[in-house]
Amino acid sequence: MASFFGLKIGSFQPIFFLGLVLAYHVVILVEGGRDIASRLSEEEDLELETQLSILNKSPIKTIHAYWGDIYDCIEFHKQPAFDHPLLKNRTITTPKRDEIASTRPHKTSVMSQIEGCPKGTVPIRRTTKEDLMRAKYLSSSSNSPGDEYFAGITVQTEGERYFGASGSANVWNPKVISYQSSGAEISLIAGPIEHANVIRFGWTVDPELYGDNVTRSYTYWTSDSGYTTGCYNTLCPGFVQVHPTYTPFLHFNKTSVIGGEQIQLLSSIQMDPENGHWWLTMDNTTKVGYWPKDLFTQFQLGAEYVYWGGRVRSGKDGIAPEMASGEKLDDFPNHVGYYAALNYTNEVEGDWIPVQKGPISFDCKGYYDASWKYSEDHVLMYGGPGGPCA
């Protein structure tokens, strides 16, 4: 495998490389798929077709979601995660049925829902040619990536390790234009900055990743700060989908209203004491899937710090988008972005420990802000209108 998408990638398999491409936070052309398609050479076109045939396995059942996505129900052990070189030769432990607390769509869920996949299969969003074309431009861009800005809270204590983190975020639909993205997340991080292991779950509006302005949840992981590994959702091997109806790709068809109804996303990431894998749980009990421990080099002893808060990416012009509601902080959590019920565990199988305080930080003063509200619940408030941060 000499070259794929025009880059030399040594002995990596092409399917793995798709993950690498998607891991880079660099700009791509946000154009109509047709414009890009017309500029593909026959050879490039063939490459994409080959990729699609590798990523999209033969389904047991196909689900057409009302918002346009297609989900294929794939046998659990055949899902793309297990094409990862580090997972290929592992014994796959199929999760026990009772590990999946809820197999039916949640009545109270704030996420869009798909009907369940048959027993033994999991829903994997079908990758489209447009997805791959955006990925292709991720790798071929000679433009410099936009900068990232944060506003949130970090829990980190010398000598302490973290085996889980949870919180409840309100969900917004910030305005973004080409190249920008805006969202919020829980991240667990370990290792030196240039080779950091990261597990992340949150919501985002990211036209580069999704091709539209819709608010969706997402998962991300890397074992070297995104240099050579990493992946969003099930777009490349890594995250193991377990739940038959919830997937990280789902969108919010409703988002929070300033001073009004708050749409909340309750989630946790926690190490499984039995096998060291890292589980993603939503709505407090719904186990969505896991990141196998084999993907990581630094998480055996737990994470070194946890971050809750906002993340935005500026466009090429250095202008950074709205964060959360786009409002400046005032006294009311329901006017801005918040994370409530922040908890962490500092032992394997340890109890949840409520976050009392931690360093609040925010980039781009004047445009973003974060604060810790002590009264009643402990709540992180963050957000801002964005602007010329560069």
Ligand X SMILES: *[C@@H]1O[C@H](CO)[C@@H](O)[C@H](O)[C@H]1NC(C)=O
Q: Which residue has the tokens 């659990």?
A: 76
Taking the least distance from each CB to ligand X, the nearer of 141 and 343 is: 343
In the chain, what are the helix, strand and coil shares in percent, each to the nearest 5? 15, 35, 50
- Least separation in angstroms between CB 193 and ligand X: 29
List, in sequence order, every residue forming a beta bridge with 165; answer none if it has no partner: 269, 344
CA distance 145 to 179: 9
- Among 11, 58, 89, 144, which residue interacts with ligand X (rule: CB under 6 A)? 89
Instruction: Give φ, ψ of 152 to 5 degrees.
Output: -175, -160
CA 1 and chain centroid, separation: 29
Using the 8-state DSSP alphabet, how is residue 83 labeled? G
Q: Return the structure tokens found at 203.
A: 């919501």
Contact call for residue 253 and ligand X (CB under 6 A): yes
Taking the least distance from each CB to ligand X, the nearer of 223 and 286 is: 286
Q: Return the structure tokens found at 267.
A: 């989630």
Contact call for residue 168 and ligand X (CB under 6 A): yes
- Least separation in angstroms between CB 146 and ligand X: 16
385 neighbors 367 (Cβ within 8 angstroms): yes
- Least separation in angstroms between CB 7 and ligand X: 26
Taking the least distance from each CB to ligand X, the nearer of 196 and 380 is: 380
Q: Which of residues 262-281 bind ligand X (CB under 6 A)?
A: 266
By CB under 6 A, how many residues form the interface with ligand X? 19
List, in sequence order, every residue forming a beta bridge with 184; answer none if it has no partner: 203, 310
- Dihedral Cα 46, 51, 52, 53, nearest 10 deg: 90
- Among 6, 273, 318, 354, which residue interacts with ligand X (rule: CB under 6 A)? 354
Contact call for residue 228 and ligand X (CB under 6 A): no
Query: How long a stretch of residues is the chain?
Result: 390
Binding mask 179-218 for ligand X (x = CB under 6 A): ----------------------------x----xx-----
- Among 334, 343, 346, 371, which residue interacts with ligand X (rule: CB under 6 A)? 343
Contact call for residue 378 and ligand X (CB under 6 A): yes
Contact call for residue 284 and ligand X (CB under 6 A): yes
205 neighbors 174 (Cβ within 8 angstroms): yes
366 neighbors 387 (Cβ within 8 angstroms): yes
- Least separation in angstroms between CB 284 and ligand X: 4
* Dihedral sign of CA atoms 62, 65, 68, 73 in order: negative
- Least separation in angstroms between CB 201 and ligand X: 15
Class of residue 128 by CB neighbours under 10 A (exposed 0-12, middle 13-18, buried 19+)? middle
Stretch binding ligand X (CB under 6 A), from 35-43, 297-305, 316-324, 337-345:
337-345
- Least separation in angstroms between CB 176 and ligand X: 7
Q: Return the structure tokens found at 388.
A: 């010329």
Task: List residues near ligand X by CB under 6 A.
Answer: 89, 112-113, 166, 168, 175, 207, 212-213, 253, 266, 284, 341-343, 352, 354, 377-378
